[in-house]
Amino acid sequence: MRIAMIGAGYVGLVSGACLADFGHSVVCIDREPEKVASLNAGRMPIYEPGLDALVAENVRQGRLAFHTSLPEAVAEADAVFIAVGTPSRRGDGFADLSFVFDAAREIAGALSGFTVVVTKSTVPVGTGDEVERIIREANPGADVSVASNPEFLREGAAIADFKRPDRIVVGTGDARAEAVMREVYRPLYLNQAPILVTDRRTAELTKYAANAFLAAKITFINEIADLCEQVGADVQQVARGIGLDKRIGPKFLHAGPGYGGSCFPKDTLALVKTAQDAGTPLRLVETVVAVNEQRKRAMARKVIKACGGSVRGKTIALLGLTFKPDTDDMRDAPSLAIVAGLQDAGAKVRAYDPEGMDHARALMPAVDYAENAYACAEGADALVIVTEWNAFRALDLDRLRRTMSSGSAPVLVDLRNIYDPASAARYGFTYCGVGRSKEN
């Protein structure tokens, strides 16, 4: 198959590289010339484990190329994937579909022969209808079918997720489009990944429903964690106790600082708006959005409380800034609200993140950035673990404590519950986790 991938971001680049790895011929098109130049020079514009080697190999094999201009690749393609951003629209929280519609207009003029235009971006129900309308209006003679194929990969594990998905959802009512999509994903369902073919609207909604469900699961355990702190229970054990029930499952039951990232916040909000417009408000999801929004800033208050009620003039060291490990993505990361809350309260914030600091510098210029975890902790009054990077899971607690402020027991606020409270206390820390004891 010949494939054009519009947008070479986290989803487009990973999907394009993986599809090339299956043997398809893929051209990734991005409107940012620096991104394309960097890819053509063999440099990845994002951090995603294993991506550089996968891209290099497929470029070398002649199956993967990068361009800024779209017409040639689209004309030759059997399938054109739209994988551009769909951020929250400023002001009202609806999905901003301007990138998707721009891409549809650009694609329309370049189509040649039967082509399936596939929306891979996360888009609200009905967007496929609009993409189709735009294309047919711009190019009435085009032999085109518009399908939906939402992407479920997770940053940090994106290649494995794409190559071994739990399922592939394809939304189309057109047999020719379905045949093309089955061919695109044939290498995968040979590996037994179920391919679920639905109508277009159902596929579009499935993606939002999945993200809203996962966001609700995280928010649920976060609220249970708060209750645990008040009543002297341990959320880790509650999570295990409920997660062993197969109807519930153990995943997404880790209490923490609230969900962030480039998907959950904007997708839950967009779903809320879609549902309100449809006259069937999703009260549960509305509450999830509100609870999570409050939680991020509440984490700054938690740190302040752990520091005895004031952080004015104190140095607070943050380990981890990205919304999760193994990515450089800072979009809607809880660290943004936590840092703002601490700075508002008069703290001096120092931070270290293995991959996120380039983006973080632009977003949080008043933070002092450190070279590594120990340099970050130097002289600090409190150390806050915000993101559970592997590199933070086995820190030398003795060295950390000695590096930190020489005052009374330095504070360790473990927002990911990766340290054992008792051993942290043995090393001389005042430990504070999430949902672990009455004192927190």
Binding site for ligand NAD (CB under 6 A): 6-12, 29-32, 35, 83-86, 99, 102-103, 106, 121-122, 151, 153, 155, 262-263
263 given a catalytic annotation: yes
Least Å distance, CB 323 to ligand NAD, is 10
Q: How far is CA 255 from CA 125, 230, 440, in A?
A: 31, 15, 14
Q: What span, in angstroms and rounded, lies between the C-alpha atoms of 134 and 16?
A: 24
User: Given the complex with ligand NAD, which of 6 and 285 has the nearer CB atom?
Assistant: 6
How far, in Å, CA of 349 to CA of 363, rounded?
14
**Which is nearer to ligand NAD, 6 or 51 (by Cβ)?**
6
- Are 145 and 174 within 8 A, CB to CB? yes
* Radius of gyration, CA atoms only, the chain: 23
CB of 251 to ligand NAD, least distance (A): 16
Both tokens assigned to 22: 């299956």
- In the chain, how many H helices and how many E strands? 18, 14
Shorter beta-carbon distance to ligand NAD: residue 153 or 382: 153
Report whether 405 contacts 378 (CB < 8 A).
no
- DSSP secondary-structure letter at 318? E
Least distance CB 221 / ligand NAD (angstroms) = 21
Give 403-410's long-range contacts (Cβ < 8 A, gap of 24+): 403/374, 403/377, 403/378, 403/379, 404/317, 404/377, 404/378, 404/379, 404/380, 405/315, 405/379, 405/380, 405/381, 407/381, 410/380, 410/381, 410/382, 410/383
- Residue 85: CB minimum distance to ligand NAD, A: 4
* In the complex, minimum distance from the CB of residue 61 to ligand NAD, in angstroms, rounded to a whole number: 23
**From the CB of residue 193, how many other CB atoms can be counted at a distance below 10 Å?**
16
Residue number with CB closer to ligand NAD (328 or 353):
328
Rounded to a whole number of angstroms, the minimum distance from the CB of residue 265 to ligand NAD is: 11
Residues for the chain: how many in total? 440
Closest to ligand NAD by CB, 1 or 83: 83
DSSP 325-341: TT----TT-HHHHHHHH
Whose Cβ is closer to ligand NAD: residue 9's or residue 128's?
A: 9
Q: Which is nearer to ligand NAD, 144 or 303 (CB)?
A: 144
Q: Which amino acid belongs to residue 381?
A: D
Quickly count: other Cβ atoms within 10 Å of residue 354's Cβ: 20
CB of 296 to ligand NAD, least distance (A): 19
Q: Give the whole-angstrom CA distance, residue 137 versus residue 40.
A: 35
**Cβ distance to ligand NAD smaller for residue 7 or 410:** 7
Burial of 71 (0-12, 13-18, 19+ CB in 10 A): middle
Closest approach of Cβ 60 to ligand NAD, in Å?
Answer: 23
The single-letter code of the amino acid at 283 is R
Residue nearest to ligand NAD (CB): 9
Catalytic residue among 18, 228, 263, 376: 263
Question: Which residues, in sequence order, are CB contacts of 99 under 8 Å at separation 6+?
Answer: 7, 84, 85, 86, 121
DSSP state at residue 428: T
Helices (H), 116-198: 127-138, 158-163, 175-184, 186-189
Among all residues, which ones are annotated catalytic?
A: 263
